[in-house]
Structure 1
């Protein structure tokens, strides 16, 4: 058995104390920490946050520790029980690592619990100690780790069948709000950490509808006996990470509903879609997963060309199921879909990187995006969702409504999720071919293509007209809007003086003028640049030029901005035939 004790020992210094006990170590026992965690495909080197690692035997005598690489240590033991003592610096306000201050604590096991080489399949037990400070005596704890002692929402003892299970149940602690609901007979808990004025009955009702729809889509019973939504409520924030019986989320305070009567505004719609996305991962990635992830190898990158199927298909369903579960109406869903499509169409990277290439290079490109990302890569989330849309509508059209993407997901669940057999690169194609009753190399060839998917044609068959217009300005995200005639080609934000350039589109007027990300644009045509820059440019005619003045670091620079018609890169979806659309959306 491997045992741990973890204590939020110094919230002001953001330190957890960890004691790890190995009862039957090898004489040259190695311990290691993952370099990444499932669902977030970037090497994060969690070991960099370990401080003061030392070891003692059962009598308190020092045990020699030698570090072998950035995340592995070797202990020279006599085969008797050994204890490792170390601290973990926890100051990452995200869903991926660990965080601790005087308001709350959070950790993923992959960032705090060392693994004992060769004993990863042993039972693991954890004692989580409350903070010693009297000022924090009202702290509670939330996790889906199996509890061996203590009451719900209390600190205590927990256990896991193996190391993989241990690190797949994150822990939230602090003075959080909690509530619960049942979906298909399964207890679902909600934890909100941070100041908020959420209408909890409304939130429970909406999440219950989404969860029940998903459970029934794959078939009862749910693959867990309890589920936990954990949300860090911030002034601004967005993010989520799936786990086998819980999800860690972040949202902005204004994204949560404050009354029963409040409509589903854009912020709340986004939050519900985020919850829907992470919940769908209970099936599609936590249990249905690429063969390359069976088992996970967490000490180095694990490459797969299938992330389009796991994040892309899930990204298609997250918004769609807010509609199917009755949380939003058809017009709201089409707006959400138009915004998703716009994110793809505004990046020239879609003409340079395929979905399989995007999936394979997630480690170095998608998860390490810079200011040139829109010009160099395509997201397997967003374009993957559009390919899922193409699959869904093709299945519905060619089988006259007999089959849909739902049937593909159920087959994947039956043949891979419930059996533990990972998917190969051709698994999805072979299952779609079974449903269509034909070979579908033509359909899946789009995965290796950098051409735009044939979405206007297939959407038209379901009563939806897709068109492109120019952007309505710096804050336009897609859908209906008043298009601007003159384009700029850069995203920016207002500063005390001028506007800061965030990204510059390849080949745009802004790029040809010489602007780059990070520049501080001070003036346009002799006037101060402001947040209304897009509107300001509309007074000029194509073919003209105006002078721009900007600072790059501490150097003053000048350039001429060519006045050109705006590029049509913003998607609009119009419902033209409701009866045809209902065959897809109802």
Structure 2
């Protein structure tokens, strides 16, 4: 069988440009069409990666072949005869997006997702692909290596592990599902349930404790593998590869992650990573471990267990599904739960993390207006395009979705007296829809909303339809207080702070305090404060950065004051009656002593 041949090279590192070619042996006789994805799976926003193509041409038989641009991301080559030989498309990609989603190149490293650099050969995307990954020219880059979970090609030109050379993929979908990092990264490995896992860090991190990171990630990975495959302890990516790669870009304040079938691209803050000799587990390090846990869980939940709308992916346009509460929300529930089950956080720390998530959802009035199913469906236009009114209009299918998972898990455990749990639901989804997803010859299919609902009842033996619809399609509050009580956890409404509040969010900008968001029901909204206002003074005292909360602490709810703001460079005087923060907040704690249901849940 013929294959599609790609090649990519860092061309001008100082100008952040990759050079890419794609060679097609048997182009469409009517004129071959090439298309670049408009979005990347896992990040539900149209990003128009084709805008970064700065030069493109086609050649065949020693001559240039005319190209016609069909739309913002597609080109068609003029038909060529069989005697003209293969069609070669050559183009340059500007890569200056330091994120987990696209591509970035400079003199220190290179990174790309295939969806942002490799054009799809329309009608031939089912064919095997090879990609030659070239090293940058020059002695200064002699020690660069390659990190990717993409399998090395066999035969002449085949790459050695971590080396430049030829790699292979079964089809275009696999080609773009293995990001690539190149440079002088730190590298370590561990085995989880007998399978190799590699850990890659790009960026300077003095005294980085790779041994501790590997030890902790091993526990996370093994707990997840055994949860889905309790009998075989078989890692899911063995269907197409033999290892998993955590690749992390370290910056001053970065955070983010994007899942792939046998790897994940991560960003984290330098201060979140442990230094050699540290024994404490900082909040930042817990955040990093939770991020790794989240993306690793996606190896099952969304990379193989998929919503039906994503089979196959339609990367030229938005693809709508109401099920992201399951694929992102449930993953957000399990990421920290796995930390508790492995002992990487204590019970007390875990319930504090639950409280933080719960209180964060309660602070936004959007939860009373949008369900998590609607939030998922509207991810393209609302969640990923948030504006100043976001807290008042939308709810996160990540955070509230994790609370939905929590409520369902505790409900199932209580009503079945511990015989069943949400773990059983996830295993059933895996067995029916995910385990054989990438198996040779398997018919790939995703799960529908109706099938998800039916599965809950079938697996648990309960009638959960009304509860599931209320949690996912409704906007009511989630009744966590009595559920917690059944597991030896106490949730109490926090006494409001004595000081007053404006009910706004701010940011510092050029020495000023600018209003970024105004919350529903707050004193600021009632007084007419608007997003974008520059706060000047409260009762004649300048509001310098960091001073607003200190000044407000001198007031009590019900006190009146004068707020001076600049709006469009015009000074406004706003009389304001100060109030308490409008959101109800909870303090959650573990009751003393062992509790059997809690032990079964958290595994302690």
Q: TM-score, normalised by structure 1?
A: 0.95
Distance 1:329 1:442, change over 3 A: same
Alignment counterpart, residue 39 of structure 1, candidates 39, 42, 48: 42
1:164 aligns with 2:173: yes
Deviations 1:94-151 (A, max 9, x none): 1000001111110000000001111001011100111113222221110111112232
Deviations 1:1-44 (A, max 9, x none): 11111111111111000111111101211111111111111111
Hey, what's the Cα distance between the residues in 1 that align with 2:297 and 2:453? 21
Alignment counterpart, residue 122 of structure 2, candidates 102, 117, 124: 117
1:450 aligns with 2:499: no
Tell which deviates more after alignment, 181-190 or 459-468: 459-468
2:552 matched to which residue of 1?
Answer: 537
Q: TM-score, normalised by structure 2?
A: 0.93
Alignment counterpart, residue 15 of structure 2, candidates 7, 13, 16: 13
Q: Contact between 1:470 and 1:485, CA under 8 Å: does it hold in 2?
A: no
Hey, what's the Cα distance between the residues in 2 that align with 1:32 and 1:157? 23
- SS for the counterpart of 2:355 is helix
Question: Within 5 A, what are the aligned runs for 1:205-220?
Answer: 205-219=215-229, 220=233
Hey, what's the Cα distance between the residues in 2 that align with 1:23 and 1:384? 47
1:571 aligns with 2:586: yes
Shift of 1:315: 0.1
Moved over 4 A (4+): none
Q: Contact between 1:30 and 1:75, CA under 8 Å: does it hold in 2?
A: yes
1:327 matched to which residue of 2?
Answer: 344
- SS for the counterpart of 1:569 is coil
Hey, what's the Cα distance between the residues in 1 that align with 2:276 and 2:515? 38
1:356 matched to which residue of 2?
Answer: 373
Hey, what's the Cα distance between the residues in 2 that align with 1:13 and 1:498? 35
Alignment counterpart, residue 231 of structure 1, candidates 226, 248, 261: 248
Alignment counterpart, residue 567 of structure 2, candidates 552, 562, 585: 552
2:201 matched to which residue of 1?
Answer: 192
1:243 matched to which residue of 2?
Answer: 260
Distance 1:578 1:347, change over 3 A: farther
2:63 matched to which residue of 1?
Answer: 61
Hey, what's the Cα distance between the residues in 2 that align with 1:326 and 1:435? 28
Hey, what's the Cα distance between the residues in 1 that align with 2:72 and 2:415? 53
Q: Contact between 2:498 and 2:556, CA under 8 Å: does it hold in 1?
A: no
Q: Contact between 2:363 and 2:584, CA under 8 Å: does it hold in 1?
A: yes
Q: Contact between 2:521 and 2:582, CA under 8 Å: does it hold in 1?
A: no
- SS for the counterpart of 1:362 is coil
**Unaligned residue ranges in structure 1 (runs of 5+):** 472-482
Q: Contact between 1:521 and 1:529, CA under 8 Å: does it hold in 2?
A: yes
Task: Kindly tell me the number of residue pairs found equivalent between the two proteins.
Answer: 574
Hey, what's the Cα distance between the residues in 2 that align with 1:50 and 1:484? 56
Question: Within 5 A, what are the aligned runs for 1:53-92?
Answer: 53-57=56-60, 59-76=61-78, 77-79=80-82, 80-92=85-97
- SS for the counterpart of 1:241 is strand
1:561 matched to which residue of 2?
Answer: 576
Shift of 1:237: 0.8
Shift of 1:496: 5.6
2:211 matched to which residue of 1?
Answer: 201
Q: Contact between 2:159 and 2:167, CA under 8 Å: does it hold in 1?
A: no
- SS for the counterpart of 1:276 is helix
C-alpha RMSD over aligned residues: 1.5
Q: Contact between 2:507 and 2:513, CA under 8 Å: does it hold in 1?
A: yes
- SS for the counterpart of 2:37 is coil
**Unaligned residue ranges in structure 2 (runs of 5+):** 438-444
1:265 matched to which residue of 2?
Answer: 282
Shift of 1:568: 4.1
Q: Contact between 1:14 and 1:89, CA under 8 Å: does it hold in 2?
A: yes
